[in-house]
Structure 1
Amino acid sequence: MFSQKVAQQSLRRLAVQQPFAMQSMMRASPVAIALGKNIQTRQVTSSPNTEDPNQILVKQRLARPIAPHLSIYKPQIGWIGSSLHRVTGFALSGTLYLWATAYLVSPAFGWHLESASMAASFGALPLAAKVILKSTLALPFTYHCMNGLRHLMWDLGRGLSNPVIIKTGWTVVGLSIASAVGLALI
């Protein structure tokens, strides 16, 4: 009962607002309405354009504006720290895989990468070179470890406000440098 009233009211509104639409519905048979044959259609227009559609798409893509990405943002410790975390993780794992592969194939190529020869060659370096080399190797490791703890804290839902992110970011940088220098002086 209610649905019939709603249908009658909507047909009355349609008749008042668009009388020609009602006439086209009245001319159509119930079978045509049920099969969707009374739908208004538009004639297809074709253009004499014989250009390749893929070339049209390429031209449209070239005309699109380019997103500025990171170049419009002021560098912040949050996203710089996260980016460096990924870079150091990639560098550490890549270095480990390269070193392990070289260590495994060294006997086949006659390379001397065993511990005794590595310790002897490192021991022959001057003190400044030792500290620089050890710092260079320790800094990505310490940064990745310290920032990993920061990311674990974020995963727990703690420290996600801007002031805390800034404080922990600079704390990670300071602790990483201090611990890298400490490891280099050992």
Structure 2
Amino acid sequence: MISQKVAQQSLRRLAVQSPSSLTLSMAKFASPAAIATGRYMQLRPTSSTTNTTDPTKILAQQRLKRPVSPHLAIYRPQITWYASGLHRITGSTLSGALYVFATAYLISPVVGWHLESASIAAAFGALPLLAKVLLKFSIAMPFTFHSFNGVRHLIWDTGRFFTNKQVIQTGWTVVALSTLSALYLAL
């Protein structure tokens, strides 16, 4: 018990004292007291060369020397890329437009808007013919494309039409069918 108190007192004295030249020269040897008090600092040379550059810029310099992955720049764009991207965009656009219109239709009596079917039909009927066709086409095209491309994906789920030639053919078929059907719906 007394030996523990003596050890604690000597450790406290060491912790309070400033490091002397002897303790600094012996810094490579860690005493238990130095480790316990947190005054031990391991000294090592940083590098074999003298580098005066800013250490925060080293990573940026290393990144400049790394090879850059070619990513999509080396590939020729294909119908599958466009069809996949447009399928996602049209799905998001159509669902977002439905949510916005449904919300506006539900809150219209509270706010005082007139979104009844009769007022919407009257507003649409007042438009010029070209505006009607363009408006109907701009609604029909995303809908038809998303529908036909969704059928294409359902066919893929059955395990058919997976060769490169068939994938390209079905992609252009979806584009043609969706354009023709959107024009039919718009006219």
- Gap regions ≥5 residues in structure 2: 1-43
- Gap regions ≥5 residues in structure 1: 1-43
Match of 2:17 in 1: none
CA distance 1:54–1:162, shift in 2 (3 Å): same
Deviation at 1:58, TM superposition (A): 5.4
- Once the two structures are superposed, the pairs formed by residues 91-106 of structure 1 within 5 Å of their partners are 91-106=93-108
Match of 2:142 in 1: 140
Count residues in correspondence.
142
TM, length-normalised to structure 2: 0.66
Deviation at 1:85, TM superposition (A): 0.8
Percentage of matched positions with identical amino acids:
63
- Once the two structures are superposed, the pairs formed by residues 53-72 of structure 1 within 5 Å of their partners are 56-57=58-59, 60-61=62-63, 63-72=65-74
Higher radius of gyration, 1 or 2: 2
Deviation at 1:60, TM superposition (A): 4.0
Match of 2:181 in 1: 179
Paired residue type of 1:95: A
Paired residue type of 1:86: R
Paired residue type of 2:76: K
Q: Are positions 1:80 and 2:97 aligned together?
A: no
Paired residue type of 1:129: A
CA distance 1:57–1:132, shift in 2 (3 Å): same
Match of 1:6 in 2: none
- Range with greater deviation from structure 2 (125-134 or 98-107): 98-107
Cα-to-partner distance string for 1:52-75 (whole Å, 9 max, x where unaligned):
987654554465444332232111
Paired residue type of 1:114: E
